[in-house]
Amino acid sequence: MSREDIQNCRHFMGLMSTELERCGKIVSGLLSFSREAPLEYKEIDLNDILKSVISLTRHKIELQNIRLKIELSESPLRITGDTNRLQQGLLNLIFNAVEAMPEGGDLYVHSRFYPNHQCCEISVKDTGCGIPKADLGHIYDPFFTTKLEGEGTGLGLSIVYGVVKNHRGRIAVKSKVGEGTSFTLNFPIC
């Protein structure tokens, strides 16, 4: 085994370890879904979380013939938050976007800093199937899903909503059937 193979193996073992830990925390999050578990707040940079989520999902995105377009704020997006919950919420948004584009498309992930408003913004936009207007009022309801039986739990967006609210943030959605969906998250900065 070459030195490069050993380094690659170590890299992937580290990723596996990190992801197993994250999966355990996701399961804990689902178990505590109906009861509020204490969050582990600390000062974090949302751009770092976005980079991590993009790194974890990039392979799946490329396999689905989706073009990823990333534009991250040059300024750090420092908020007080729980890294694992924020990562879980962003993963849910990105996976929903990927599932909305089974034939491929464009996925935009942007972050911005608004110093005058003391907030930062993350947007996740896809060019997928879109959400029917009649369903938009229910997308954050627990167990609401437009997917076929066995394909979704209906918890993804309700978890995203809870994560954003627990971080004193706001979430907005715009969608048009046949054109795609855009989620915008705003958080107060430290």
Mean predicted confidence (pLDDT) in 44-57: 95
Question: Cα separation of 119 and 129, whole Å?
Answer: 30
Give the mean model confidence (pLDDT) for residues 9-34.
68
Q: What is the pLDDT of residues 68-114, one digit of tens each?
A: 999 999 999 999 999 999 999 999 999 999 999 999 999 999 999 99
- Could you tell me the pLDDT band of residue 188, with boundaries at 50, 70 and 90? very high
Q: To 10 degrees, what angle do helices 3-31 and 83-99 make?
A: 100
Looking at residue 37, its pLDDT comes to 57
Q: How confident is the model at residue 16 (pLDDT cuts 50, 70, 90)?
A: confident
Q: Are 156 and 96 in contact (CB under 8 A)?
A: yes
Secondary structure E strands in 50-146: 66-71, 78-81, 105-114, 119-126
* Per-position b or e across 81-115, b if 16+ CB within 10 A of its CB: bbbbbbbbbbbbbbebbbbbbeeebebbbbbbbee
Confidence of residue 190 (pLDDT cuts 50, 70, 90): confident
> How many Cβ atoms are within 10 Å of 35's Cβ, its own excluded?
6
**What three-state secondary structure class fits 3?**
helix
Terminal Cα-to-Cα distance of the chain (whole angstroms): 47
For the stretch 106-125, pLDDT in tens is: 999 999 999 999 999 999 99
